[in-house]
Structure 1
């Protein structure tokens, strides 16, 4: 009976071990962690999985939108300047590579490396570091695009130069952080104080540049609104108001994302709550550039739907151009050169110009009667 009792006691103590997963058995056999250590490990894995899953879900959704916008751009503007078409293609390639590298890093974390000794410092996959660099490159290309837009609109060297210099500094600091992660691909590198400062400067400069770009574009558009003669009669005020609202929305969205990325990264260096914002920010830049180019057709459609309006070519101080047809028209003769606003470059079609002029002639004929 005593032997049976001993045997029974042995069996009762063995049953809990049978319920433990092979991964946990391997961990306990190697290091014999305590229950608190296992609980802490599970919490870290759950947090990493949750933030990565949320970020990747948002990122892939934005990637799908950017693919659609790229398709619409090439369909609607086949004769745009080669520089613009190359920029769209470059951003799409970089965005696609970012999506691939994020998927690879997640697969490495949760499949290939899952079950390895968790006491060893978590190694950062090369794909994560490469994706981080590509996000920095996307930010650089997008901000240079807006610097060019500011220059084409205002021909102000000071503002354009400031935006460009900040973009270059941001890109350079991003390269430094990337090289650091390649040299020391450990999770503790991200939470190190020196890396936190460099990374914070990258996000801080990028957010500041977004705000600067937004303020400059809004100021220029407001000046256009004040300088457009006859704008109220032809609906130009409404278009410029829409452009101002769009510029503000674009700048605020990317700036807030960069700011949240910066804040969470500095406030919680050992957590991964910054991950969704990191995965989304590059794709927000791509979509903002695409939307800026594709919004031109929207204003052409608005112009066509107004029965009594004129084309933008009939509004003094505003040019309308289209790359698809090569049509460029303007009317600035009635405005003194010293008071003439810089042209707003918006696309239209040859048919819209003809319909607008026909509508104007019919209106003038009706007035004569």
Structure 2
């Protein structure tokens, strides 16, 4: 029996399958590794910070649940999609699980960026900056929902390569990347301003700036690479690894921001579920370092003025400024 495909068609199909296997293998390996890290971070969070507010605990639980579902959906979509390419002559439809995973990544991005918008509001009380970041988050979220609905209504594989879809999809990634840059810049600026007003807190502030820049750079690079490869090479699959990992980078960035409190406490700076300065003697530091379940705090030494927390609002007590997560 003769083959229904010509030699050129077989070569094209073979190359497409090889490319798909290569990009999905890389992306899935990186994504599942990041998922394992997020599982560890969630475990550490709920073990160490048992007295955080329920709103914060719910945010962490929600992000982890969405992250778990995205891992399951990616595995399912890869199985269905690759099997479809191997068994069908024509373009296969996009699996429902791929579109559902895209929706969950959109939600994860939105929750994470709103978390940082709330953080910046607590740091700066600057309505303009916070509103701008929130606007970008809502805009990216709205357009992301639109593209998800479009894929559910038009599941053909060719639909993701149309001009209109590429424009809207590019806007989603572009706005998300711009927001990550804005968040990073705002956090660095306001933290640096606080550093100059509190010389004794330089070590902590410098560390927080490094964390802010690191999380912003990673997520922004992932969004930009996703955007560039998706728009510049719409008929190739080089964008898949970045799509698979970007949501997990957001989850890990939020969890790392919360869990870093324990690490900084061990270096001699007392942190509750947030950020606090303790400029007391070593005995008091050692005693307070065991208390890791207070609300998010930013507690300076008695001779320092009370300052707002990176993660909360101020309430005074016992010579320190305790800041709770809102």
The count of residues paired between Structure 1 and Structure 2 equals: 300
Work out the CA distance in 2 between the residues paired with 1:48 and 1:239: 45
Aligned CA distance change for structure 1 residues 304 and 106 (closer, same or farther; 3 Å): same
Aligned partner (choices 157, 163, 182) of residue 152 of structure 2: 182
Aligned CA distance change for structure 1 residues 33 and 148 (closer, same or farther; 3 Å): same
Work out the CA distance in 1 between the residues paired with 2:269 and 2:145: 47
1:335 Cα shift? 5.9
In the alignment, what sits opposite 1:221?
191
Aligned CA distance change for structure 1 residues 124 and 253 (closer, same or farther; 3 Å): same
Work out the CA distance in 2 between the residues paired with 1:94 and 1:47: 28
1:342 Cα shift? 3.5
1:193 Cα shift? 0.7
In the alignment, what sits opposite 1:203?
173
Aligned partner (choices 117, 125, 129) of residue 95 of structure 2: 125
Any gaps of 5 or more consecutive residues in structure 1? 1-16, 18-24, 306-310, 347-352, 354-369
**Contact map agreement 1:228 1:341 (CA 8 A) in 2:** no
Determine whether 1:295 maps to 2:260.
yes
Alignment partner of 2:22: what SS? helix
Aligned partner (choices 190, 198, 207) of residue 242 of structure 1: 207
Runs of 4+ in 1 over 3 A off after TM superposition: 320-323, 325-336, 340-346
The TM-score normalised by the length of structure 1 is: 0.76
**Contact map agreement 1:221 1:244 (CA 8 A) in 2:** yes
Work out the CA distance in 2 between the residues paired with 1:116 and 1:62: 32
* Alignment root-mean-square deviation, CA: 2.4
**Contact map agreement 1:224 1:342 (CA 8 A) in 2:** no
Aligned partner (choices 301, 308, 319) of residue 342 of structure 1: 308
1:325 Cα shift? 4.2
The TM-score normalised by the length of structure 2 is: 0.86
1:328 Cα shift? 6.1
My pick for the range that moved more, 236-245 or 215-224, is 236-245
Any gaps of 5 or more consecutive residues in structure 2? 271-275, 281-287, 313-318, 320-326
1:154 Cα shift? 1.2
Work out the CA distance in 2 between the residues paired with 1:283 and 1:228: 35
In the alignment, what sits opposite 2:322?
none
Aligned partner (choices 52, 77, 84) of residue 105 of structure 1: 77
